[in-house]
Each structure stands twice: as structure tokens, then as C-alpha cells.
Amino acid sequence: MKYEFPVKRHRFTSEEFKQKKAEYVAKYGYTMHIPGFSDIVKIDLTTPPTEAEVKLYRKKDRQALGAHRYEEIRKLMAAKKQSYLRMMGSPTPDWIANIGTTMNFLDDVNDSLGTLSVLIRTAAHLLPSTAGKALMGPAGWALLMADIVNVAISISNAPVTMLTAKQESVAALETNPFSKEAKVKRARRLRRLKPGKGEIIEALQVTNSVFGIGLCLGPILGAVIEAFTGPFRVLQGKKVTVKWPFPDFNTAELQAMEGIYGAYMLNTGGQELSPLDHTKTYLVAELATQVLYPLFQEWHPLDMVDGLDNIILQAKKPKDPLTKLLFDEEGIHWPSRTGHLHTGRQFVSAGELMDVGDGRITRSFEEYARTQNHTPLGQIGMQAVNSFTPNMLALIEGEEEVVVDIHPVAKACTKIIHNGFSMHPDTTDQQRQLFADIILYPPPKGLDPDFLMIRDQIIPYCGIKLIPRPHV
């Protein structure tokens, strides 16, 4: 189980950090972070890695660490990197950040002393009266030191409370921990067996620091401060973005994400799939973009996740019992042989998977279109891909960045149809190809001739006959 001392060492920002932050902000701008539920309520029992384990992790020695432990360390390192990037991109000035560091240090001390007092007084109430009286002294001393630290917190907190227009610090500064009133309050707390709400919150913050389970209120304070410093940076003409927490995805959204991932992986395999299975993957991908579009309008992973292409993805293991049985009968040890297509590895970065699929998926679809061009199944699959492509680009780049333009040949054919004509059924593939070559010259956009030019010049040159279309 994880165990750490409840009070972390106090550190101010260094000159090296300031320089790196300036470089980071110049490149990416400032980022305001809105904390989510998992940022506040912590449940993490992962044991921090030892020096030896860190060395093995840097060498990517999964065999020596074990797949499970390697994944635990990877998640810990990713969380540390995320925390570091939050500090780098925060719009909070250094002087306020240093005050916040001091406040966190003193708050940890205050919470630890308050929780220690609760534990001692609880033990005092449960033990015989003689032993209990002996413990009440240390419990009172812990409360006294907590009150003294609380005054120090109020002093260090004063510039921030003034910034956020709060006046609680005034009352706190007027409280003398050695006054008669303070002594009476401490005596009342010592007589009480049941902890109060504030003491429970303090205890949960301590358990989070020690064991990794409890509350972390720092992100809330940071968000409150950034609510003032972020707009101030905007007034300075700086770039400021807002990063929202990961939402709770519903079942449909999770299935849509799985669908796009699965369709991508299956189509990197070339033509191993049947035309029917290819068509199913195209339909799944097209429907998934429609499901995800509302989500991406509010929460975009490219804006919310730093270094998305560097995220390590684990190959999914078989779940169906019949699939497992098939592997077992073929003598394949599926728990160790499971890997991403065309890499053979269980752990691959998202960027590498994109590189693997680059070109493969295009060639696979071109072959599908060539063989299924005149089948109803192919028409359905190609229409799905035709809809999926702009939808996916709109998800990634934003709807305003996607401009759909009709292919020059399709545009020329549309003009023929709209004017009441069609090509004669005896038109050969060579004639159609010559027609396409003329329309597409000069590449890449080609011509945009009007109907009269198509009818009187291009069509006769290609040897094609036009016939009137029947009126419906």
C-alpha cells in the first residue's frame, strides 16, 4: 500500500523553472484548468516506484518489471507530467504561486496537527480515565499548534484573499490562539468525542497525503485564483485557453469511440476481411462520428489532452469465450500473443499506430471500391466512407475548418444530368477515362466548364453520345 509523510517539503519556484515556463507559454500560451471529480476525490493505492524500478522503466524493460507494474509506473509518470504541464501553463503569476506553495505547506501542517489531536482525544475517551487525562495534554498541545499555524496561513493568505475580494482573513488575524476565548474553544473540542465536519475534511486530506485515498482541495483553490489571473492575462493580450476535466462518457459515446478504434485497426489489415465485413466497419465508423459530434463540440480531446499522440495504448485481449477456445485449440497462448496489428506488440503509442495505418487504410479502401464498385453493398460502403471523411475532419479540426468541394468530374457529370441528358449506355471505359482526363486538366483542380462547352466540345472530342433523360 502507498504511504507517504503527510507534509511535503516546501519549495519556491526557481529561476530555471521560470525560464522553462516562459518558453512554454511563448509556444503554447496559458491554460486555465477546471478541476473534475477525480481531481478532488482521490483513490490511488499505487506504490511509488523505487529507484531500481525507475531505471528499468526508462529502459522500457517490461519483462523485468512485469506488464502490470510497468503500466502502473507509466500511469504515475503520466500523472506527474500532467501536473508539471499544469504548472507550466498556469496563468497565475510566480508571486501568487509561491504564496500558494506556502499555504499548501502550512495547510498540510495544520491538517496533520488537527487530525493528530482528534486521534489522541478519541483514544483518551476510550481509555480509562487516568490514562485518558494524560493524553488530553498532548491533544490540547496539538490543537494549540494547529491554531498558531492557522494564523500563519491567514497571514500568508492575505494577498490572495484581497485579490479574490474575501475578508475572512481579517477575522482570522484578530484571533489570538493564546486568548481565553481560544482556550475555551479548544477545551470544547477536546471534550467532544464525535469529530466535526471540518475535522473530517482535514482527516480526509491527511489520508490522501499519506495513503492516496481522501480529498485534495488544492485544485479548487487553484481554479478560484485562475478565475482572476486568466482574464487578467487575456487583458494583457496573451493567449489563454480553458481546459475542462474529463467528462463522464455515456454508454453510446464509449461504444462510438470503441467503434472508431476497432474500424481503424481492422482496416489496416488490407483485404483480409470480406467485402461485407469491410462495409460493416465503414458503417460503424460513419455512425460513430455522428454520435460523438455533440460531445466534441463541448469537450475536444485534442484541446484537453497534452501529447495525445504519445499516449500508450494496450492491445485489447479477446473477451469472447469461443475466440479464446479457438486460440487454445490452435495452440496459441492468447494472453501473451495479443498485440496490435502489424506491430505485434501489446503496448504501442497512438502516434505509431497512426503511422502504421498511413497508406494501408487508403489502399484497402481503393481495392474495396475497385471490386465492389457496381454492387449494392459497395455503394452503401462507399457512401458511408464519403460521409465519414468530412464528419471525422469536422470532429478533429472543427466544422468551420472543413470545406467540402465536389470532385471536378462529378461536377461536370452533374451539369449534364441537370440539363436533362446522360451518357449513352454504350460509352466505353476508355471514353469515360478520356472525359475525366480532360476535365481534370490542369491538375489538381482541373477545369470547371459550363454545360455548353461540355456538350459542344468535350463530349464530341471523346466520342461520347448524349441522350435525353426520361422525364419522371
Residue after which a domain boundary falls, among 209, 243, 277: 243
Q: With respect to residue 303, please indicate whether it lies within any of the assigned structural domains.
A: yes
Q: Are residues 200 and 274 in the same domain?
A: no
CA atoms within 13 A on the CB side of 236: 13
Residue 1 lies in a domain: no
pLDDT of residue 71: 82
Residue 162, pLDDT score: 52
Angle at alpha carbon of residue 246, lines to 308 and 244, rounded to 5°: 95
Domain boundary among 401, 429, 448: 401
- Please give the pLDDT value at position 2: 53
* Cα(370)–Cα(364) distance, integer angstroms: 10
pLDDT at 219: 81
pLDDT confidence of residue 100: 67
Is the Cβ–Cβ distance between 222 and 92 less than 8 Å?
yes
Claim to verify: residue 188 and residue 294 sit in the same structural domain: no
Q: Domain check: are 134 and 200 in the same one?
A: yes
Do 454 and 363 share a structural domain?
A: no
Within 249-322, strands assigned E span 312-314
Q: Output the pLDDT for position 249.
A: 82
**Do 383 and 417 fall into the same domain?**
no
Q: What is the pLDDT of residue 10?
A: 55
Residue 4 lies in a domain: no
Query: Pairing mode, if any, of strands 240-243 and 30-33?
Result: parallel
Sign of the Cα torsion 85, 90, 93, 98 reads: negative
Of 226, 243, 260, the residue at which a domain comes to its end is 243
Q: 434: which residues sit within 8 A by CB, 6+ positions away?
A: 461, 462
Q: Model-level pTM?
A: 0.51
Residue 5 lies in a domain: no
Q: Is the residue at 7 inside a domain?
A: no
The burial of 111, by beta-carbon neighbours within 10 Å (0-12 exposed, 13-18 middle, 19 or more buried), is given as: buried
- Phi and psi at residue 444, in whole multiples of 5°? -90, -15
Positions in the chain whose pLDDT score sits under 70? 1-13, 100, 102-103, 105-106, 110, 130-133, 139-144, 146-147, 149, 151-180, 182-184, 186, 190, 193, 210, 246, 302-307, 471-472
Q: Are 260 and 313 in a shared domain?
A: yes
Helix (H) or strand (E) holding 429: helix 429-439
Are 227 and 118 in a shared domain? yes
Please, which residues bridge with residue 32 across strands? 242
Q: Which pLDDT score is estimated for 4?
A: 58
Task: Give domain status of residue 8, yes or no.
Answer: no
pLDDT recorded at residue 36: 75
Question: Range of 41's domain?
Answer: 15-243
Are 148 and 289 contained in the same domain? Answer: no
**Is 10 among the domain residues?**
no
Residue-level pLDDT at 161: 55
Q: Are residues 166 and 123 in the same domain?
A: yes
Same domain, 32 and 134: yes
Q: Are 25 and 65 members of one domain? A: yes
Q: How many structural domains compose the chain?
A: 3
**Whether 296 and 346 share a structural domain:** yes
- Asked if the structure places residue 9 within a domain, the reply is no
